């Protein structure tokens, strides 16, 4: 399934992916930009210890998937509250306690929801934000950015059209994390010359996912 199959679908619509169909990264990108929810008729198994819900409890138009390991658990819970206050639907991929877990499980859960179009954006939190960023960027269609202030948050959206944000709970305070998240969610992609460069990023990815 390519961008040609997606570009004429109504804005904000839902599209069911038949079993066995593969969706190209560019098609996923266009679906996300047009807020088209792509639903697989047969879902892959969930990664260990990481839940991938099929709907957001908040039911908001824009659903944000959020996940964290034990180091980011407390910050995740705080940011979930803020997301609800801002009017976003929240898909919590875990973890659900401060018990030690492995961050790749939760980073993958969030990234998969974004790549599949079941979440508009994704937020992942671990101790430093680095490992989760690396993990998320292994998923085709994901452009994850680790941000540490409002300037990097705005840049990652305006210049790079980032669709996943990673945060380091051990490096950032709660208030700064809230400011970063709000800026990141509200900053639009600049398009134009930036679109050409993002297309080149995605073309590199396509070379290894064919």
pLDDT in tens, 54-101: 344 444 469 999 999 999 999 999 999 999 999 999 999 999 999 999
Nearest to 143 by CA among 121, 128, 117, 175: 121
Contact by Cβ (8 Å): 64, 182: no
User: Which residue in the list 159, 160, 189, 194 is annotated as catalytic?
Assistant: 159
What contacts 24+ positions apart, CB below 8 Å, involve 94-98? 94/49, 94/50, 94/51, 94/67, 94/68, 95/49, 95/50, 95/67, 95/68, 95/69, 95/70, 97/70, 97/73, 98/70, 98/73, 98/74
Lookup result for tokens 């957001």:
56
CA distance 183 to 144: 15
Contact by Cβ (8 Å): 110, 47: no
pLDDT in tens, 116-155: 999 999 999 999 999 999 999 999 999 999 999 999 999 9
pLDDT greater than 50 at residue 22: yes
Give the tokens for residue 40: 């697989």
Our answer to whether residue 194 is catalytic in this structure is: no
Listed range (13-22, 102-111, 171-180) with the worst mean pLDDT: 13-22
Instruction: Give pTM, 2 decimals.
Output: 0.74
Domains, the chain, ordered by start: 3-209 (3.40.1400.10)
């Amino acid at each position: 399934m390519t961008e040609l199959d997606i570009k004429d679908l109504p804005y904000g619509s839902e599209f069911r992916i038949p079993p066995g169909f593969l969706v190209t990264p560019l098609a996923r990108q266009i679906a996300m930009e047009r807020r088209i929810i792509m639903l697989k008729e047969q879902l892959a198994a969930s990664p260990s210890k990481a839940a991938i819900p099929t709907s957001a409890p908040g039911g908001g138009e824009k659903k944000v998937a959020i996940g964290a390991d034990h180091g980011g658990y407390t910050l995740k819970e705080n940011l979930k509250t803020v997301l609800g206050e801002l009017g976003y639907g929240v898909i919590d991929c875990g973890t659900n306690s401060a018990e030690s877990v492995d961050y790749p499980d939760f980073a993958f859960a969030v990234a998969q929801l974004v790549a599949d179009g079941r979440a508009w954006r994704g937020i992942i939190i671990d101790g430093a934000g680095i490992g989760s960023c690396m993990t998320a960027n292994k998923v085709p269609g994901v452009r994850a950015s680790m941000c540490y202030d409002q300037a990097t948050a705005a840049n990652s959206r305006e210049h790079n059209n980032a669709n996943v944000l990673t945060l380091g709970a051990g490096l950032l305070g709660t208030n700064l994390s809230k400011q970063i998240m709000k800026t990141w969610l509200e900053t639009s992609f600049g398009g134009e010359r930036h679109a050409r460069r993002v297309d080149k990023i995605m073309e590199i990815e396509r070379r290894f996912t064919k």
